[in-house]
Amino acid sequence: MLKFDLQEMGLRKLNNALHDQKENTNQTIWEIINPKGSHAIAVGIDAPIEVNIKGSTGYYCGGMNKQAIINVKGSVGPGVAENMMSGKVVVEGDASQYAGATGHGGLLVIKGNASSRCGISMKGINIVVHGNIGHMSAFMAQSGNLVVCGDAGDALGDSLYEAKLFVRGSVKSLGADCEEKEMRPEHIELLKYLLSESECDAKPEEFSRYGSARTLYNFNIDNSDAY
């Protein structure tokens, strides 16, 4: 295991060292201490390594991640795992705004709550939040799955495309063109898988599914109030 004191070594050295790891690296486990809310920790990794961050981080932790498993033993600032391509990011605490924004793949797990705009513009990522999420979550979400074990705030899934949203608790309000959909067996299977991958013991049957009503897909003046 490699131990890295961020305050002592600095961000540039850390990310540089992480970027040096390639497919067949034998330095597979990294521990980062003293993150102290720094921004852009462990961004742009492209290797099958595990990075354990001991403490809370600032903006964009794990941004654009590929392959790596990043565990944050604390809370994260805005934009955790933004544009993630693959791999897994697990946050023990809470996440600020835009968690998993524009993510293309991989799994983001937030064990606490996530703030507003969780999963905004998501493009294939899976996001599982053990707690609640804030308003405008999954805004313009294109594809992927957002699973919320608690409650969702206002305007969930506004201007949604093809992403699937699953909420166990209440939804304060749905955004434009987002509607409740039928839970079919394949959705139960999908949830089973995502919940087990996220160490969450909620039951798939307890969730409701939301998706796009697809009425805004081609501009129509009669829908102009919804835009």
Partner 1 sequence: MNKMEKPTMPRTTPRYSATFSNDVNSDIRRAAATGIYDIRGGGAKRKLPTFDDLLFLGASISRYPLEGYREKCETSITIGTRYAKNPIELDIPITIAGMSFGALSGPAKEALGRGASAAGTSTTTGDGGMTPEERGHSTKLVYQYLPSRYGMNPDDLRKADAIEIVVGQGAKPGGGGMLLGQKISDRVAEMRNLPKGIDQRSACRHPDWTGPDDLEIKILELREITGWRVPIYVKVAGARPYYDTTLAIKAGADAIVLDGMQGGTAATQDVFIEHVGQPTLAIVRPAVQALQDLGMHREVQLIISGGIRSGADVAKAMALGADAVAIGSAALIALGDNDPVHEAEYNKLGTTAGAYDDWHEGMDPAGITTQDPELMKRFDPKEGGRKLRNYLKVMTLEAQTIARACGKNHLHNLEPEDLVALTMEAAAMAQVPLAGTNWYPGKPGSSY
Binding-site member from 11, 17, 33, 176 for partner 1 (CB under 8 A)? 11
H/E segment holding residue 14: helix 11-19
Binding-site member from 79, 87, 106, 204 for partner 1 (CB under 8 A)? 79
Least distance to partner 1, CB of residue 65, Å? 8
Task: Tell me which residues in 123-142 interact with partner 1 (CB under 8 A).
Answer: 123-124, 139-140, 142
Least distance to partner 1, CB of residue 181, Å? 16
**E strands, the chain, where?**
2-5, 29-33, 50-54, 69-72, 88-91, 107-110, 123-129, 143-148, 164-167, 178-181, 208-212
Number of residues engaging partner 1 in binding (CB under 8 A): 42
Q: Please enumerate in sequence order all residues whose Cβ is within 8 A of that of 27, keeping only pairs 6 or more positions apart, or say none.
A: 2, 21, 49
| Phi, psi at 72, each rounded to 5° | -110, 115
- Which amino acid belongs to residue 28? T
Which residues contact partner 1 by CB under 8 A?
A: 11-12, 15-16, 19, 39-40, 43-44, 46, 58-60, 63-64, 66, 78-79, 82-83, 85, 97-98, 101-102, 104, 117, 120-121, 123-124, 139-140, 142-143, 159, 161-162, 217-219, 221
